Structure 1
Amino acid sequence: MEQIAGDGNATEPAAAAYTLSSADNVLRVLLMFKDSRVVRVTEVAARLGVARSTAHRLITTLCRRGLAVQEPGTRRYGPGPALTDLTYALMRDPAMDAVLHRQMVRLSAVLEETVSAQIFQGPDVLFTDGVEAERALKAGLRTGARLPAYAVSGGKAYLAELPREELVALYPDGFRPLTAHTVTRFDELERELVQVRERGFAVNLQGTETGLNAVGVAVHDRSGQVVAALAVSAPAHRLEGARIDEVAGALQDAARSVEQETS
């Protein structure tokens, strides 16, 4: 009986070791995103010391679960939506979310425009909440959407507080234009971020969608770190000139209220 039991369990340690090794390799691939925004199969194979076919299977598994995603037209892979959603879920502060939402409701009623909350995730921003204007002609909600931070007002408000070396590291391949008005050169973005720091707010003038303008401000936690952004978006003809300054002032007041209430 003892020998039969031993024979039946003989492969279990080896199977367990293989399972643990595979799980460890998957986790190591995920941790690679901490050092680089994108990875290639050859890089994964070299880092893990496995065959390229094994590395490809690991990345394919991550893509299937939404933890990684292949960049269109390339052989590079970056963090997937499920991974960024998990990061947000672990970092979010329900109390902060509630305060932000109250301010968005108030701002939308006062300004009669659509208001959104955004958080920064790597090179992008994630729209986490929003309150839509009641006007017939209005900006729609983008809750759940991701857009490049360099094109979005809230994203620019965040980027303005980063050191130059971090900014450069975020966009090693340059900028992808979303419209004819999207920033496409690094020096152009830097000049705009200087203005953001001087004025205390950022603008998106048809950079993500033709005919749509937006104004955004950063929201900080008690340590002074940016944790979110508040933004107002509207048809371009309604959000230009003096109206931008008016909206920016209302957003700055709202951001200060959020910071004071959550400090």
Structure 2
Amino acid sequence: MKTLHKPTERVLLILETLSNDDGMTLSGLSLKTEISKSTIFPILKSLLHRKYISYDEKSGKYTLGISCAVLASSTFEKEYWLKMINAEMRKIVADCNEVCQMGVLDDSHVLYIDKVQSDQTVQLMSKIGTRLPAIHSALGKALLYQYSDKQIMELYPDGFKPLTAHSVGQLDYLRRQLNDVALKGYAVDDREINEDTVCFAVPLKQRDKILAAISVSMPYFRATEEKSKHIIELLINARAKIEHNLNNLHDINNY
């Protein structure tokens, strides 16, 4: 039998242990894995830095992080909810023939964890793992709309840095956009990330908790009023189906 690499085994054991629990303290992890606190702590620090785990200061517990969701998204059979959402995204793309993406909030950015491409000659070029400022993207606004002004400024202590001439630059303007998400049910990025791209997004909730968001992006020249309205309807209908399924599942870990 080949000798296994002990440091690697420890990392995998920690992740596997956390995957089977709602959250564990340093002491609990040490006890469960039989790894000393002095050995396990620097491993946790590295995993936190790479976002493979998260830490809740109030409870003192560690849970799996969003980087694990990115890995899981490449093997959908491991995660029913990702597979189910991907199926709805494919239906959207089949109908409107524009790219559909899913993202989660990563501090002040949106992390793209899934994508279904269209067959348009001119289309948005992006990839899973991309991170973009949440305040400028439709996905980000869909994820942030329940945040207070104070919470938003804590994410952006140095203020907003516009990416295009259309990007939001002030909190009061962003607040109006976020209020629109609450009122209309969808968020809009009108050339805020890219001068040539328009995007619409809806939040996905499980029992009123936002887990992720899905969006449809298209070139500005194809964003007619009729097509935009149709895409918004597709997104809202998909959200209803997804949330119905999510609410029939056990609580999903917070990625």
The alignment status of 1:149 with 2:120, answered yes or no, reads: no
Partner of 1:247: 231
Structure number with larger C-alpha Rg: 1
Partner of 2:205: 220
* SS class of match (1:125): strand
Partner of 2:219: 235
2:167 to 179, 182, 198: 182
Partner of 2:117: 132
Counterparts of 2:197 and 2:52 in 1: how far apart (Å)?
29
Q: What are the ranges of 5 or more consecutive residues in structure 1 without an aligned counterpart?
A: 1-18, 31-61, 69-79
If asked which structure has higher relative contact order (CA below 8 Å, sep 6+), I would say 2
Task: Confirm or deny: 8 A CA contact 1:126 1:144 kept in the other structure.
Answer: yes
**Post-superposition CA distance 1:109-128 (Å, at most 9, x none):** 10110000111111111110
Counterparts of 2:39 and 2:164 in 1: how far apart (Å)?
43
What is the correspondence of 1:152-163 to structure 2 with a 5 Å cutoff? Answer: 152-163=137-148
Partner of 2:86: 101
Task: Confirm or deny: 8 A CA contact 1:131 1:141 kept in the other structure.
Answer: no
What is the correspondence of 1:69-80 to structure 2 with a 5 Å cutoff? Answer: 80=50
**Post-superposition CA distance 1:16-68 (Å, at most 9, x none):** xxx966864785xx5xxxxxxxxxxxxxxxxxxxxxxxxxxxxxxx5xx8x64
Counterparts of 2:223 and 2:52 in 1: how far apart (Å)?
34
After TM superposition, which residue ranges in structure 1, 4 or more long, deviate above 4 angstroms?
A: 19-27, 80-84, 89-93
Partner of 2:65: 87
**Residues 121 and 107 from structure 1, CA distance in 2 versus in 1: closer, same or farther, beyond 3 angstroms?**
same
Residue 244 of structure 1: how far off its partner (Å): 2.2
The alignment status of 1:202 with 2:180, answered yes or no, reads: no
Task: Confirm or deny: 8 A CA contact 1:152 1:208 kept in the other structure.
Answer: yes
The alignment status of 1:256 with 2:234, answered yes or no, reads: no
Q: How many residues align?
A: 196
Structure 1, 107-116 or 172-181: larger mean CA deviation:
172-181
Counterparts of 2:156 and 2:224 in 1: how far apart (Å)?
29
The alignment status of 1:192 with 2:177, answered yes or no, reads: yes
* SS class of match (2:230): helix
Q: What are the ranges of 5 or more consecutive residues in structure 2 without an aligned counterpart?
A: 1-35, 55-63, 73-77, 248-255
Task: Confirm or deny: 8 A CA contact 1:116 1:141 kept in the other structure.
Answer: no
**Post-superposition CA distance 1:132-164 (Å, at most 9, x none):** 110111122331101111011011011112233
